[in-house]
Amino acid sequence: MVDAPVRIKYRPATELVYIDNSDGTGPKDNYNAASMPIYQTATFKQQSSTQMGEYDYSRSGNPTRSHVEKHLAKIMSAKRAFAVNSGMTALDVITRLVKAGEEIIAGNDLYGGTNRLLSFLATHNNVKTHHIDTTNSETIIPYLSEKTRLVLLETPTNPLIKIADIPRIAEIVHERCPGALVVVDNTMMSPYLQRPLELGADIVYHSGTKYLSGHHDLMAGVVAVKDDSIAEKIYFTINATGVGLGPFDCWLLMRGVKTLAVRMDRQQANAIQIADFLETHGFKVHYPGLKSHPQYALHAKMSSGPGAVLSFETGDVELSQRLVEATRLWSISVSFGCVNSLISMPCRMSHASIPAHVRAERALPEDLIRLCVGIEHVDDLLEDLYSAMTKSGALKLAN
């Protein structure tokens, strides 16, 4: 018997690029292509009418999808990973683990699409969600019960960039509710900066449209798990509903993942300078790379960097609107994680589906501006922001 090759774990930036098939479990390629081919086929020929081969129909599995899923599982420290057609699909697949009458605990600062799905589950599936302040781990305790099935965390949150203590919350949940699963939306950090499965989470998911892809030319979602039985349930739903990511999109996703480190390093470096610039000019800035952030130390313990998304307040909704519309380099757009810089007003755009009274209850400022920092030269980004601040009157107010 030949011993299995020893798995050498490299640094994260290397792991993103290094394709490891030393165990022979990856898709086979007779031509040793340097880039995994796109198996753009709906079905596969079989050798037998009674025995199916490794692949039979692309809804159930495809070599290009298997390739990217194996690589994603590696970089996310997961047993298995699954590629689906959007980040919201990833969350939808996960929430199908919850039965009618069971409950979800989630943060009170969530992406608008997440909030919309949870509201749908309440009105159509009899699944109640408790929204809590996840910055205080102990606030979760009164809501834990035998009905709790999922604890859904964003950290940093979108758009107020709040931090949840993943290890502590996972410890509390697993101790008090062994049947509950801790789920983390890690889209904002990416596996390069934070790996929640290593911190105690049971499931992690991403909008692959963001940093994993990096160019906003792809819609994708990723679910990663560390338990085989949960993985089988996730796969059953994906196969049954036909939401697996198509071959060409899998190829694009794989290509994007390989450049994640160089993109994120540049974007993060730019974001740190921009956050300092805004804070220096008197704005209230939400960014875990600033020592003024109330959870600066906690975030630094869980992650290897603050990321490239930040938000700030001007104190006036109309002023924020003028500032946003006065920028030129910063594209007014929802989403984040691509190579070019984006600017938005979450309450008017990505979080507009959350009713105004709910936004008020959750202390989501209507004047909040979110910046998603790209790879442009930081001086150009700063100069454009300064010009917009001057034109809008925000600079005078800040000073």
Asked if residue 186 is part of any domain, the answer here is yes
For tokens 């809804």, name the residue: 59
Strand residue runs (E) in the chain: 80-84, 103-107, 128-132, 148-154, 181-185, 203-207, 221-225, 284-286, 309-313, 331-332, 342-344, 369-372
**Short-list 271, 344, 335, 281, CA closest to 309:** 271
In a domain, 95, yes or no: yes
Domain holding 123, by residue range, is: 12-258
301 assigned to active site? no
Mark which of 258, 274, 303 sits at the end of a domain. Answer: 258
Q: Which of 39, 55, 111, 211 is catalytic?
A: 111
Q: Domain of 243: which CATH number?
A: 3.40.640.10
Answer whether 327's CB lies under 8 Å from 388's CB: yes
Give the span between the Cα atoms of 264 and 260, in whole angstroms: 6
- Can you give the pTM of this predicted structure? 0.94
Asked if 250 and 350 sit in the same domain, the reply is no
Q: Tell which residue, 303, 278, 336, has the closest CA to residue 155.
A: 303
Query: Is residue 162 flagged as an active site residue?
Result: no
Per-residue pLDDT of the chain (399 residues; tens, 9 = 90+): 444 455 568 999 999 999 877 777 777 778 888 889 999 999 999 989 889 889 999 999 999 999 999 999 999 999 999 999 999 999 999 999 999 999 999 999 888 899 999 999 999 999 999 999 999 999 999 999 999 999 999 999 989 999 999 999 999 999 999 999 999 999 999 999 999 999 999 999 999 999 999 999 999 999 999 999 999 999 999 999 999 999 999 999 999 999 999 999 999 999 999 999 999 999 999 999 999 999 999 999 999 999 999 999 999 999 999 999 999 999 999 889 999 999 999 888 777 777 777 777 767 889 999 999 999 999 999 999 999 999 999 986 555
Considering the candidates 74, 80, 210, 359, report the single residue annotated as catalytic.
Answer: 210
Q: Are 382 and 273 in contact (CB under 8 A)?
A: yes
The answer to whether residue 1 sits within a structural domain is: no
| Digit-coded pLDDT (tens) for 245-303 | 999 999 999 999 999 999 999 999 999 999 999 999 999 999 999 999 999 999 999 99
Is 386 in contact with 395 (CB distance < 8 Å)?
Answer: yes
**Residues 184, 267 within the same domain:** no
Whether residue 287 lies in the annotated active site: no
Catalytic residue among 20, 59, 168, 391: 59
By the 8 A CB rule, do 378 and 273 touch?
yes
258 is known as an active-site residue: no
Counted domains in the chain: 2
- Asked if residue 229 is part of any domain, the answer here is yes
Single residue among 217, 235, 258 that ends a domain in this structure: 258
- Residue whose tokens read 């993109």: 263
CATH classification of the domain holding 338: 3.90.1150.10
Same structural domain, 169 and 298: no
Quick check: is 364 in a domain?
yes
In this structure, the answer to whether residues 266 and 254 fall within a common structural domain is no
- Answer whether 332's CB lies under 8 Å from 324's CB: yes
Helix, strand, or coil (residue 301): helix
Domain assignment of residue 298, yes or no: yes
Residues 191 and 176 in one domain: yes
Check 92, 165, 185, 249 and give the catalytic one: 185
